[in-house]
């Protein structure tokens, strides 16, 4: 018995807003706050690039560590690393639920990528 799994190619995503949950939790230097290893971001880059290349409005949801830990931080630096890895400007907003976040998502253009704030700031 063969099970068929849908892939990005099975959908017309041009002009559609696609919410992608990724695991880009990365080692962070506790003193400087600098990301030490971007392996997880590199692993997700192919999918994010494909979504962008197919004209989707890509909204990325992720986290970094847990409250109280030394590597718990915003995802702003992650957006810069993703931008470098993708060779595409990855926008960042320090919110998830605000009116500003809603408007930013609503105003995304085809092929743009937006990284929302660390979801663990809100839960």
Place of tokens 């997700």: 44
Residue 109 covered by a domain: yes
Residue 77 covered by a domain: yes
Residue 22 covered by a domain: yes
DSSP H or E stretch at residue 17:
strand 17-21
With a cut of 80, say whether residue 123 has pLDDT above it.
no
With a cut of 90, say whether residue 122 has pLDDT above it.
no
Read off the CATH number of the domain in which 39 is found: 3.40.50.1260
> What's the total number of domains in the chain?
1
Residue 20 covered by a domain: yes
Kindly report, residue by residue over 28-58, the tens digit of the pLDDT. Answer: 998 888 999 999 999 999 999 999 999 999 9
Residue 114 covered by a domain: yes
Question: Could you tell me if residue 55 is left (phi over 0), alpha (psi between -120 and 50 degrees) or otherwise beta?
Answer: left
Residue 50 covered by a domain: yes
Residue 96 covered by a domain: yes
Kindly report, residue by residue over 61-96, the tens digit of the pLDDT. Answer: 999 999 999 899 999 999 999 999 999 999 999 999
Range of the domain at 88: 12-121
Q: What is the DSSP string of 23-91?
A: -----B-TTT--B---HHHHHHHHHHHHHHHTT-EEEEE---S-TTSTT---SHHHHHHHHHHHTS-EE
- pTM to 2 decimal places: 0.94
């Amino acid at each position: 018995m063969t099970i068929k799994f849908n892939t990005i190619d099975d959908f017309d995503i041009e002009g559609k807003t696609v919410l992608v949950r990724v695991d880009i939790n990365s080692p962070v230097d506790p003193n400087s706050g600098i990301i030490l290893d971007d392996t997880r971001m590199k692993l997700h880059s192919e999918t994010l690039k494909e979504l962008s290349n197919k004209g989707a409005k890509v909204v990325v949801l992720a986290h970094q560590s847990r409250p109280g830990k030394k590597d718990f931080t915003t995802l702003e630096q992650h957006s810069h690393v993703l931008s470098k890895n993708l060779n595409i400007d990855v926008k960042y907003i320090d919110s998830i639920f605000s009116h500003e976040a809603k408007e930013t998502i609503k105003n995304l253009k085809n092929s743009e990528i937006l990284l929302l704030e660390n979801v663990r700031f809100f839960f």
